[in-house]
Structure 1
């Protein structure tokens, strides 16, 4: 038997359908799949309430589960979005913060559902991989002062300007 990829399950407290629709609205190559309603007798849902929503966001498979209040998201798991340029950084940063998200340091944020995201320009990855460790260190020091990452400022720091 061969498993065919992975599906990430995200645990929500009554917001599964709202979250799935929000993520699908942000990312290209996204869609809502099957929506399962809770069977009678589930202690965390009312009869006929949405239990799970299958969706794809940016080609990645997810299941949003209305599991109740028992578990909460934390920063130990995050989703990294590699962005081609500042326009993409701005797009994902702003869309993921909509409706009550929270900015974090170094390109991290929590969306309104508590899910952690890293919005990272591909240039920063290339800077960190550069064999000139001083250039990489300058870019890292600049990144440490930022919330949303500023590609132009990172490039200036990397170049020693």
Structure 2
């Protein structure tokens, strides 16, 4: 496994056997990312045979392990990754990148990428609004969040 200071590395089991394609997809979205490792394997006959691949990528400073071993498990919303964006432009970029090409919009800043992994694309200013000491600011932000798919800050203020 690649050298890392990260104690826990999330492993994503994707429903394909092409880890390189999955790694390339995420690296195309997270421009500062790197492919740290890539391996191809064949299961022995006693494990059912078949090929699978693994990759380790680092995106946005976080290492992820990709296990591309076929359609045995599906992602669901019980696990998601939050992207803390600096402004609306960055929010728009990640939202478009993740929901296009087979991705899917959901509600309140949640979406899925083309592999079905759930993401929350949230401008950091959003948390200031929903946690404001001013109840009017807080209530307006929370109420308007419920009407949005992608978080649009200007509609929450």
Q: How many residues align?
A: 150
The answer to whether structure 1 residue 24 and structure 2 residue 27 are counterparts is yes
**Paired residue for 2:141, among 130, 139, 145?**
139
Deviations 1:105-124, CA, capped at 9 Å, x for gaps: 00100111000000001111
**Worse-superposed segment, 37-46 or 23-32:** 37-46
**Where do 4+ consecutive residues of structure 1 move more than 6 Å?**
none
In the aligned structure 2, how far is the partner of 1:119 from the partner of 1:140? 16
Q: How does 1:61-140 map to 2 (within 5 A)?
A: 61-140=63-142
Q: Is the 8 A contact 1:45 1:51 kept in 2?
A: no
The answer to whether structure 1 residue 35 and structure 2 residue 6 are counterparts is no
Segments of 5+ residues of structure 1 without an aligned counterpart are 156-161
Q: Is the 8 A contact 1:45 1:66 kept in 2?
A: no
Partner SS state of residue 42, structure 2? coil
Q: Check 1:153–1:4 CA distance in 2 against 1; reply closer, same or farther (3 A cut).
A: closer
In the aligned structure 1, how far is the partner of 2:35 from the partner of 2:96? 22
TM-score, scaled to structure 2? 0.88
Q: CA RMSD in A?
A: 1.7
Segments of 5+ residues of structure 2 without an aligned counterpart are none
* TM-superposed deviation, 1:36: 1.1
Q: Check 1:61–1:13 CA distance in 2 against 1; reply closer, same or farther (3 A cut).
A: same
TM-score, scaled to structure 1? 0.86
Q: Is the 8 A contact 2:109 2:149 kept in 1?
A: yes
